[in-house]
Amino acid sequence: MQPTSSKKTPLTFDTIAPGQGLAAALKKSRADIIGEVSASNLRGRGGAGFPTGTKWNLAAAAQGQDGGAKYVVCNADEGEPGTFKDRVLLLEYTDLVFEGMTIAARAIGATKGILYLRGEYVYMRPHLDGVLAARRTAGQLGANILGTTGFTFDIDIRMGAGAYVCGEETALIESLEGHRGEPRNRPPFPVNTGFLGQPTVVNNVETLASVSAILAKGAAWFRAIGTEKSAGFKLFSVSGDCGAPGVYEFPLGITVAALLEKVGGTGAKAVQIGGASGVCVPASEFGRRIAFEDLATGGSIIVFGQGRDMLHVAKNFMEFFVEESCGQCTPCRAGNAKLLEGIEMLERGACSSAYLRELLNLCETMQLASKCGLGQSSPNAFVSIVTHFQDEILGRTAAAH
């Protein structure tokens, strides 16, 4: 009943001694730190895959208003269904995360860091506060960090309050500023106009831990892992119908089939890659690769065994989005509700294929017209389940499930 560690394989992070990355970074100029991160081809581990070096470059070049501060925000609002690798990093590799934030601060010239921790993870607070205090004592946070004159940086923890949408970076910033977590229009991007209008870098927990590893071991080492467009190793949160659910590390580019073999999930009916906002991949496509150029993911892998009802899966995802849509823009607010209604019609066996086509058109509208990633990606699971399992979801009778 008490949570246990989710780690199923040794992680590369085990081989990175805390402090190594920061020490290496402080020997470099700011431009060289960003150069190293850019050369590693590290892309955002939250799932969107934006090149981290590019983001830092933009923030480094941006001028704060009235000479104001710049900010580094660690996005620990891990809320994508099926994702829990950041929990492991925050609890077991805490120093690497804070170190990554400190390196980012050095690179862009930030003085203040904020860890935005989801409300559901409030039980981590004593641990995280303890690590921060120890880092201050060790001179790794505060004024003149590790003897580097003029490099002042400290980290605050702010709690989320139970809103999935706050994982979207501009909604997260709205929340930090004391507003409803409603995403902003972009541009302007947070690297120019972020927290309190100042240049702000928002990076995922795993991205920041990876930065510590890259500075410790070098960009070439990192780039040699993975594929050309998706460099490096990646943590995967595996759950659902498999022998050993938990957190795994694999190089990006691994096929779904190879991953299933490692986690005891062979013979699965389908796999959801990327959480509720990702896509559902049927067994016929298990040869596809998990990488930014094929199946992009923040690491969520949910395995569905042969006996699972895929319409039930689609319904669960859609209930999630109806609940979590911030309600600001119409395609998302009304669209998700309409899709859920459609799924309930399918459940009753009362949906014509003409109406199903209408629903798929609505999905396209939502993908194109929603304001933020939530509404743009919420129809993905529905579309892929309808496409691959049409036979299973049409013409149901009450006895069918």
Partner 1 sequence: MLVSQQQKLQDEIRALAARHGRTRAALVPILQDLQVRYASVSDFAMQVVADEVGIHPAEVYGVVSFYAFLHSQPSGRFQIRLCQTISCDLAGKARVARQLENELGIRFGETTPDGRFSLEWASCLGMCDQGPALLVNDRVYTRVSAEQVHRIIDDCRKVFGAHAAQAAHAAHA
Min CB(296)–partner 1 separation in Å: 19
Region near partner 1 per CB under 8 A, out of 25-33, 160-168, 251-259, 362-370: 160-168
CB 224, min distance to partner 1, A: 30
Sheet holding 154-159, edge to edge: 154-159, 112-117, 71-76, 200-204
CA distance 233 to 210: 9
- Report how far Cα 221 is from the mean position of its chain's Cα atoms: 23
Among 32, 129, 177, 261, binds partner 1 (CB under 8 A): 177
Q: Render 292-315 in DSSP notation, one character per residue.
A: TTSS--SSEEEEE-TT--HHHHHH
Q: How far is the CB of 377 from partner 1 (least distance, A)?
A: 15
Q: How many residues bind partner 1 (CB under 8 A)?
A: 57
Q: What does the per-residue mask of binding to partner 1 show for 107-136, with x meaning CB under 8 A?
A: -----------xxxxxx--x----------
| 187 sits near partner 1 (criterion: CB under 8 A) | no
Whole-number Å distance between alpha carbons of 31 and 52: 14
Shortest approach of partner 1 to residue 268 CB, angstroms? 12
In terms of CB distance, is 22 or 340 closer to partner 1? 340
81 binds partner 1 (CB under 8 A): yes
Q: Which CB, 59 or 280, lies closer to partner 1?
A: 280
3-class DSSP assignment, residue 240: strand
Phi, psi of 279 (to 5 degrees): -120, 155
Element holding 239 (H helix, E strand): strand 233-240
Tallying the residues shown for the chain, one arrives at 401
Instruction: Classify residue 12 by its DSSP letter.
Output: G
196 binds partner 1 (CB under 8 A): yes
Q: Is 247 a binder of partner 1 (CB under 8 A)?
A: yes
Instruction: Say whether residue 239 binds partner 1 (CB under 8 A).
Output: yes
246 interacts with partner 1 by CB under 8 A: yes
Choice between 226 and 245, CB closer to partner 1: 245
Query: Which candidate, 42, 172, 169, places its Cα nearest to that of 100?
Result: 42
Q: Which residues pair with 249 in a beta bridge?
A: 235
- The reply to whether 12 sits near partner 1 by the rule CB under 8 A is no
Shorter beta-carbon distance to partner 1: residue 56 or 84: 84
What are the strands, taking DSSP E only, across 262-388?
270-273, 279-282, 300-304
Three-state secondary-structure class, residue 65:
helix
Contact flags string 324-343 toward partner 1, x per CB under 8 A: x-x-----------------
Q: What is the DSSP string of 25-53?
A: HHTS-HHHHHHHHHHTT-B-TTTT--BHH
91 binds partner 1 (CB under 8 A): no
Minimum Å gap between C-beta 317 and partner 1 is: 7
Q: Write out the residues near partner 1 by the rule CB under 8 A.
A: 1-4, 6, 78-84, 86-87, 118-123, 126, 158-164, 175-181, 196, 237-241, 245-247, 272, 276, 302, 304, 308, 313, 316-317, 319-320, 323-324, 326
